């Protein structure tokens, strides 16, 4: 597995990380704990060194990550997040400095570790100055409890304000072939400031794999049920994007998922996508994307295909969209 350095920091990780959220949160029933631990350890065997979790994914998520990675602790990078009231994403944001410290202490225990390698603010809190947030994390870094500071779904001004107090190592936000909004302002800002970018949902929450269509049904606790872009009508309209992607993938003897990830890797050398999965064969498929090289002609072909398609449906319902980009 190739390695990538996040911006101007000294944090080097595998070119593709592992998003652990879906093991127990957001996409239906939780994976059996032992199966989840085995999958994470297989990811380590396959060269993954960046693992992403969060307080908001439930205590079990951090506990699984901590137990799975304990034998390899000094060889991997663990990222987790703070920023929601009581760790519950439905209750709104809470990034008060005392809350940040409390989350750090609790996460350290659940992760069975003495330091958090990358500590993200999960969403910008409009009620707490970014300088106070960055200052709180700076104190934790000085104490050795946190190694690097990150932001998630933050807007340009928040990134700049945070970075001025405590250098931001990475921004984690959605970015993929069907959500390219970061290209307008976010990517140029990150390049200017020397901040790495960690795209979540690099496969469009599964849609870009080609395994979801207008007839797909999700379990009742799958959050895609409330996402406008996943309405049956939107899925039918957006199938054209997957069809184009599949045609390009066939020409490279690859899968649509692999081309979607390889495309992200080709955008900037400091981009590290974190696809998630609960299945070993999907993990292997995703990681194989690191060996696919897309040349200028390939990227131009993809760009041409995308330019002929308008993606239908918002990526978030209104109440969640309001949290992003602040």
Any idea which residues carry the catalytic annotation? 57
Cβ count within 10 A of residue 111: 24
Residue 256 contacts residue 246 (beta carbons within 8 Å): yes
Calpha distance 146→192 (Å, rounded): 24
What three-state secondary structure class fits 187?
helix
The token duo for 301 is 């072909």
Calpha distance 177→257 (Å, rounded): 10
Calpha distance 99→14 (Å, rounded): 31
The H or E element spanning position 160 is helix 156-165
- Which residues lie below 8 Å from residue 32, measured CB to CB, with a gap of 6+? none
What three-state secondary structure class fits 89?
coil
- DSSP annotation of 12: E
Cβ count within 10 A of residue 196: 26
Q: Is the torsion defined by CA of 90, 92, 93, 94 positive or negative?
A: negative
Calpha distance 306→296 (Å, rounded): 15
- DSSP annotation of 32: P
What three-state secondary structure class fits 317?
coil
- DSSP annotation of 209: G
Task: Return phi, psi of residue 12, to 5°.
Answer: -110, 130
The token duo for 225 is 């049920």
Residues forming a β-bridge with 197: 171, 271
């Amino acid at each position: 597995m190739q390695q990538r350095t996040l911006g101007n920091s000294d944090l080097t990780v595998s070119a593709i990380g592992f998003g652990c959220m879906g093991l127990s949160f957001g996409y239906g029933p939780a994976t059996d704990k032992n199966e989840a631990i085995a999958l994470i350890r297989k990811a380590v065997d396959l060269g993954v060194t960046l693992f992403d979790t969060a307080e908001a994914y439930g205590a079990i998520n951090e506990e699984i990550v901590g137990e799975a990675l304990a034998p390899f602790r000094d060889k991997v990078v663990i990222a987790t997040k703070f920023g929601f009231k009581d760790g519950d994403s439905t209750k709104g944001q809470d990034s008060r400095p005392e809350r940040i410290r409390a989350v750090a202490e609790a996460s350290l225990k659940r992760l069975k570790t003495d330091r958090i390698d990358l500590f993200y603010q999960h969403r910008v809190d409009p009620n707490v100055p970014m300088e106070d947030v960055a200052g709180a994390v700076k104190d934790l870094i000085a104490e050795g409890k946190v190694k690097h500071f990150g932001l998630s779904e933050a807007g340009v001004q928040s990134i700049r304000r945070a970075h001025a107090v405590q250098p931001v190592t990475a921004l984690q936000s959605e970015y993929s072939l069907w959500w390219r909004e970061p290209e307008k302002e976010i990517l140029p800002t990150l390049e200017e400031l020397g901040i790495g970018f960690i795209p979540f949902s690099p496969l469009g929450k599964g849609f870009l794999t080609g395994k979801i269509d207008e007839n797909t049904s999700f379990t009742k606790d799958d959050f895609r049920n409330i996402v406008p872009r996943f309405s049956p009508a939107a899925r039918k309209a957006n199938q054209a994007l997957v069809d184009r992607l599949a045609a390009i993938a066939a020409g490279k003897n690859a899968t649509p998922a692999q081309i979607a990830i390889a495309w992200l890797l080709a955008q900037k050398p400091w981009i590290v996508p974190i696809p998630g999965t609960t299945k070993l064969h999907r993990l292997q498929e995703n990681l194989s994307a690191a060996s696919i090289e897309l040349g200028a002609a390939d990227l131009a072909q993809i760009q041409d295909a995308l330019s002929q398609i308008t993606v239908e449906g918002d990526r978030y319902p209104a109440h969640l969209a309001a949290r992003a980009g602040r």
